[in-house]
Homo-oligomer: A and B are copies of this chain.
Amino acid sequence: MPPPVSPSGAVSGQGRRRDPEALLEAARAGDKGALGRLLSLVERGGEPARQVGRLTFAPSAQVDQVVGITGAPGSGKSTLTDQLISAAAAGGAGVGVLAVDPSSPFSGGAILGDRVRMQRHTLDEGVFIRSMASRGHLGGLAAAAPEAIRVLAAAGLSLVLVETVGVGQVEIEVAGATDTTMVVVTPGWGDAIQASKAGLLEVADVFVVNKADRDGAAQTGRDLENMLDLNSSTSAWRPPVVMTTATTGDGIDGLWDQVREHRAYLDSTGERQRRREARLVAEMNRLLVHLLERDIRALAGSDRYEATRADLLAWRVDPFQAATRLLAGTPVP
C-alpha cells in the first residue's frame, strides 16, 4: 500500500513552492497540489524538469503497473478509465491517471469535457488525475510521459493509467511507455480494421470492445479475433478481447482481471524487466535526437550557417553539400 494522497493539500511554505525536493517531500506526504506542481515542472521542461527527473530516477520509483488506454475519439475511453479507477482503488492501489492530449498545447484543452466524467474520483484518497500536455518539454509528450510516470511513482502511487486521445503516432509512442496497453474499439464496421491499420494490433496487450450493448459488438469481437489469428506475433501472450459497457460497468471486473493477468504474465516471463529496460534506452535515444536538433536550431543563427546558406542560394553548393559542410563543424556541448 502506498502512502495515501490526501484530497486537501498539506500546507507548504511559499518559498518552497517551486523547490523540487520540497515538492516531492510534500507529494510523498499526500499533498496533491505539490504533486500537480511537480508534473507542471516536468511539462514545462528546462532545468527544473531535469532536477525533478534526477530526483525521481531511482529503483524505488517504479510503479507496479502502467496501463495505457488508447482508441479512437468517442470510444468511451474516459468512462472506461473512470471505471478502472474504481476497480483498481478497490484493490487497494494508489492510482495516478495521466490524460494525454497531443493536440492541445495546454493542459486540458479539448478533452476537458471528458475529464468531467472522472470528477467523481478527484477528491478520493489515493487517486490523482491529471490532464497532460507537453508545453516546453524537450521531445514533447512522448518524452514527458515516462518522466511524469516516474514522478507519480516517487509520490507513492502504485498504478498509473495513461489515457491518450485519438489514434496516431503520438499514441503509439505513448503506448511505448506502458506495461500493458489496452486498445478500445466500438462496435461497427471497419473499426477493428482501422485499429489494425493504425498499427494498434502490434501494441495491444488487451482489446476492449466498449459499448458492447450496441449492435455489431459480437461481430467486432470476431473481427479482432480473426486478425489475431492472422497475426504473426510469436509472443506467448495472445491479447484477450473483452466486451464492456463502461456506462453501466458491465464487463469491467473481467477487464481488470485481464489487465492484472497480463501483469503476472509480464513478470513470470521476465518480459516486464525487458520492456522497462527497452523503454529507458528508447527514452535516452529520443533525448539524444532532440538535443541534436536543439543544436541545429542554435546553429541556425551562426555566421557559419549564414555563409553556407548564402553559398546554397548562389548555387555554389547543393543542399547535401551544404548540410555536410555544416555538420563537419557542428559544435557539440
Chain A residues packing against B (C-beta within 8 Å): 50, 53-54, 57-59, 146, 277, 280-281, 283-285, 287-289, 291-293, 295-296, 300, 308-309, 312-313, 315, 318-324, 326-330, 332-333
Q: Tell me, in angstroms, the Cα distance from A296 to B283 when the chains sit together.
A: 14
Q: Are B280 and A313 in contact (CB under 8 A)?
A: yes
Q: Are A328 and B333 in contact (CB under 8 A)?
A: yes
Q: Are A285 and B292 in contact (CB under 8 A)?
A: no
Seed contacts A291-B324, A327-B333, A328-B333; 15 additional CB < 8 Å A-B pairs: A53-B319, A53-B320, A54-B318, A54-B321, A57-B315, A58-B315, A277-B313, A280-B319, A281-B309, A284-B319, A284-B323, A285-B296, A292-B296, A295-B327, A332-B332
Residues of B contacting A327 in the complex (Cβ-Cβ under 8 angstroms): 288, 291-292, 295, 332-333
* Least CB distance, A194 to chain B, in whole angstroms: 14
Given A58-B315, A318-B57, A328-B332, answer yes or no on A323-B281 (Cβ-Cβ < 8 Å).
no
Q: Are B284 and A322 in contact (CB under 8 A)?
A: yes
Q: Tell me, in angstroms, the Cα distance from A309 to B53 when the chains sit together.
A: 17
A49, closest chain B residue (CB): B320
Q: Are A326 and B288 in contact (CB under 8 A)?
A: yes
Q: Are B288 and A323 in contact (CB under 8 A)?
A: yes
Q: Tell me, in angstroms, the Cα distance from A105 to B187 when the chains sit together.
A: 32
Q: Are B332 and A330 in contact (CB under 8 A)?
A: yes
Residues of B contacting A57 in the complex (Cβ-Cβ under 8 angstroms): 315, 318-319
Looking at A59, A287, A288, A312, the one whose CB has the most chain B CB atoms below 10 A away is: A288
Residues of B contacting A312 in the complex (Cβ-Cβ under 8 angstroms): 280-281, 284
29 cross-chain CB contacts under 8 A: A50-B320, A53-B318, A53-B320, A54-B321, A57-B318, A57-B319, A58-B315, A59-B315, A146-B319, A280-B319, A281-B309, A281-B312, A281-B313, A284-B312, A284-B319, A284-B322, A285-B323, A288-B296, A288-B326, A288-B327, A289-B293, A289-B296, A292-B292, A292-B293, A292-B296, A292-B327, A324-B333, A329-B332, A330-B332
Q: Are B283 and A319 in contact (CB under 8 A)?
A: yes
